[in-house]
Amino acid sequence: MKILKNKLFTTLVSVLFAVGLILGITFTCVDLRGKDVDAADKTLMAYIYEETGYATGEYTSSSGGFGTIKLNYVIYNGSANQSYTANITAAGFVTINSGYFSSISLSGSSLTSAFKLNTTKTQAPTASGGNLSTTVLYIYLDRTAQPKFDTYWDEHVTELYTYWSGSGTESDPYLISSAAELAGLSYMVSSGKGIKNGNKYYPNIYFEQTCDINVSKYLWRSIGKAIKEGDVTSYWWFSGFYNGNGYKISGLFTTIKDSKKLDYNGLFGYIYNGSVKNLGIENSIVAGNSALIGYVAGEKVKVENCFNSINISTLAAAGGIVGYIDCKNCKISNCFNSGKIYCMLTGGGIVGSTSSTTELTIDHCYNYGVIEVSSIGYISYAGGLIGDCRGTTIIKSSYNIGDMIEGSYTILGTIVGKNNGTLSLLHCYGNGVACAKNSGTISNSIYKATCKLTDAKSRTWYTMASNWETPWDFTNTWTIKSGVNDGYPILGAFDKFSITLNKNGGSGGTDKVEVYLGGSFPTNISIPSKTGYTFKGYYDRPDTATGGVQYYNAQGVSTGESVGQMSSLYAYWTVNSYTLKIYRPEGINDIIKPNSIWQSDSGGSYKTVSI
C-alpha cells in the first residue's frame, strides 16, 4: 500500500461533483453520442463526470467497431478558459488507466498528435499524464453500443419478467436467469407489488442466479429503495436470500435521478434481514455507495463469498461490498474488493461506514483497490477495509494492500479510517497505521504493519495457522490461479470446473457435473446401469470397501455434501442376487433329499434356490 497525493484535476472534478450535490444539480447520465459539449457549464460538467466513470477501462477506437472516443479538455491559463474538442480515430486501443484519468495512453498512435487545437498548433498532455497542474481532462464516449442513459429498466415494464421458475423455498428457490428477470425483482420491490410483510419484500424467500447476467440495456434501479418526503422516510426493503451461485453481474449503471430518493445505490439498494452470497460485480459503473449493497439494516444479515471489481463514486459512505451498515449481528466473510473507491467524506474497501448501534464482524476479507477520499473543507476518513466505525466491530484474518490517495483534510488508516466505537483487530495486516483516528476503544488488537505483495500472492502465507486468527480455507473457499485477479486469491465459487462421473463399467446416465469449489452439487442426475448389478450411488473413491464419502445416492439425488478439490466421482455397484422357484412334476418324488420339505402354491410343489 502506498499513500499518494491527490492530483489537481481529480480534486477539481470532485469539487464540482460535490457542489452539484449541494446545489441540487441532477446527476443524470445522459446520452452524449456525437455531441460537442461546453465543459465550462457546471451542470454539464457533472454529466461529463458520470461519463468519465462510464469510460473507465479499455475501448477500441472507430476501427474496432465502437465508434470514436472523443476528448473534450479545458486549458486553465489563469484568466479565461478555452475549450477544445478532438477525435481519436487511430487504430488500436485507448486505455484509461484510472477512473479519474490521471494517465492516458494510446496504442498505435502518438497521443499528442491526436489533439489538434488548430491547424498550426498542437498542445496536449503526455501519455503519462502531462502537466496536470494546468490541464483538466473531461472524457465522454461516442459509442454505438452505449446504453440508453435516459431510461431505467422499470420504465420498460413490458420487457420485465416477474414470474420466475421455482417456488421460493430453500430447496426450490426462484431462479433468476436473465436481465429481464433480475430487473423484474427490482421492479416488484420498488413498485410495492412483490410478496411483502409490511415494507419488507420477499422475507425468508430464496432466489438463485443461474448464469452470468448483463443488465446494460437500461439504467439500473437498485433492488430496494427509500424516499424522503419532508421529515418522513419510507422504505422498500429487500428481505430475501439471494444466492449468486458463483455467477456475476455486469453492465450495472446507476445514477441519481430523483432528488427525493435516498440513494444508497448498488445492485441492491436497501436490505433488511436478508443475505447475499456467491455473487460478483464487474464491468459496471455505480454512482452510489457500493457495487453490491448500498444500505444494510435489521439483524443477522450475512454477506459472504462476494467480490467487486468496479469503481465506486459517491459523496459519502462508499464501500466496495456495502456502503452503510445499521445492523445487529451482521457478518461479512470471504469477500474482496479490487475496484477504486472514490468519495468526498468516508470510504473503505469493504464497508463505507457504520452506525453507533451496529454489531459487525468482517472475517477473511481483503482489499487491493485504490481508495481516494477528497474533501472540500470537511475532515474525511478513508480505511483500507472500513472508512468510519461507530458501533462494535470485529475485523479478523483480513488485510489491505491497496494504495490510498491522500487529499485535503483526509485522514487515512490502512485498516480503519476512524473508530468511534469498540474495535477489535485480530490478526490483520496492512502497511501503515491500522486506525488513523481513534475516538473509541481498540481492544484485542493483533495487527502487523507489514503486508508484503509476495505474501499476498502466496498460498502458503494464507494457510499458515500462526499468521491468522484462523487460516484461510484453500480447500473449500479460496484458490489462487496464475494470471487471474493479478495473482491475488479468488473465490472458488467463481472458478467453475467439471467433475467426471466415472461409471465403473456401467453405461448411460449423466457424464459430468459443472460445480465450483465449496458449492453444492446439482440436485439431480440421471443414474447409469450395469447388467447384473445395482447402482448404489457415486462416491469419492473407486473402492468404497476402503471407505469414502457418498455424493449421490442410489436415486441420483445429491446427498448435500459440498464440492471439494476433486476431478472424479465413482459409481458403486452391488452384484444382483436372484431366487429361483423349482417346481416338482406331479408323481415325482424328491430322490435327492426325500425328507426335505416342499412348498406349494397354485403352480404345484416347489423349492427355492438363491443364485
484: three-class secondary structure by DSSP: coil
Q: How far apart are CA 120 and CA 350, in angstroms?
A: 50
Residues 6+ apart with CB under 8 A from 542: 502, 504, 570
Q: Which residue has the cell 452391488?
A: 574
* C-alpha of 609 from chain center: 64
Average pLDDT over residues 553-580: 87
* Angle subtended at Cα 80 by Cα 77 and Cα 82, rounded to the nearest 5 degrees: 80
Other Cβ atoms closer than 10 A to 259: 10
Q: How far apart are CA 154 and CA 189, in angstroms?
A: 11
Q: Which residues are 312's β-sheet partners? A: 286, 341
Strand-by-strand arrangement of the 404-406 sheet: 3-5, 404-406, 371-373, 341-343, 312-314, 285-287, 253-254
pLDDT at 317: 86
C-alpha cell, 581 = 422357484
pLDDT at 63: 33
Largest CA distance in the chain: 128
Which run of H or E residues covers position 412?
A: strand 410-413
Query: Per residue in 469-510, pLDDT tens?
Result: 999 998 889 988 888 888 999 998 888 889 999 999 999 999
C-alpha cell, 165 = 421458475
Q: Which residues are 152's β-sheet partners? A: 219
Residue 16 has pLDDT above 60, yes or no: no
Residue 28 has pLDDT above 90, yes or no: no
Q: Which residues are 174's β-sheet partners? A: 207
Query: Per residue in 397-452, pLDDT tens?
Result: 999 999 887 766 778 899 999 999 999 999 999 988 899 899 999 987 888 888 88
Average pLDDT over residues 261-284: 89
Q: How far is CA 526 from CA 487, 541, 552, in A?
A: 38, 20, 10
**Is residue 278 left, alpha or beta, with left meaning phi > 0 and alpha meaning psi from -120 to 50?**
left
Q: Which residues are 386's β-sheet partners? A: 351, 416
The dihedral built from the CA positions of residue 447, 449, 450 and 453, taken in this order, carries a sign that is positive
* Angle subtended at Cα 353 by Cα 348 and Cα 356, rounded to the nearest 5 degrees: 150
Q: Which residue has the cell 480447500?
A: 475
Q: How far apart are CA 10 and CA 343, in angstroms?
A: 11
C-alpha cell, 200 = 419488507
Q: Where are the alpha helices (DSSP H) in 263-375?
A: none
Strands 371-373 and 268-272: what pairing? Answer: unpaired
Residue 526 has pLDDT above 80, yes or no: yes
Other Cβ atoms closer than 10 A to 604: 13
C-alpha cell, 381 = 476518513
Residue 320 has pLDDT above 50, yes or no: yes
**Is residue 330 left, alpha or beta, with left meaning phi > 0 and alpha meaning psi from -120 to 50?**
beta
Q: Where are the alpha helices (DSSP H) in 7-96?
A: 8-23, 42-54
Q: How far apart are CA 397 and CA 376, in angstroms?
A: 35
Which run of H or E residues covers position 11?
A: helix 8-23
The pTM for the full model equals 0.70
pLDDT at 94: 31
Strands (E), 239-363: 241-250, 253-254, 268-272, 275-281, 285-287, 293-299, 302-308, 312-314, 318-319, 322-328, 330-337, 341-343, 346-348, 351-354, 359-363
User: What does the radius of gyration of the chain's CA atoms come to, in whole angstroms?
Assistant: 30
Query: Per residue in 144-182, pLDDT tens?
Result: 333 445 678 888 888 998 889 999 999 899 999 999 999
Q: How far apart are CA 36 and CA 39, in angstroms?
A: 9
Could you tell me if 30 and 255 are in contact, meaning their C-beta atoms sit under 8 angstroms apart? no
Helix axis angle, 42-54 to 8-23, nearest 10°: 120
Query: Per residue in 93-152, pLDDT tens?
Result: 233 222 222 223 333 332 222 222 222 222 333 333 333 222 223 333 333 333 445 678
Q: How far apart are CA 11 and CA 287, in angstroms?
A: 17
Q: How far apart are CA 352 and CA 417, in angstroms?
A: 10
- Closest to 442 in 3D by CA, of 421, 462, 472, 458: 421
User: What confidence tier does 591 reach under pLDDT thresholds 50, 70, 90?
Assistant: low
Residues 6+ apart with CB under 8 A from 230: none
- The whole-chain average pLDDT of the chain stands at 74
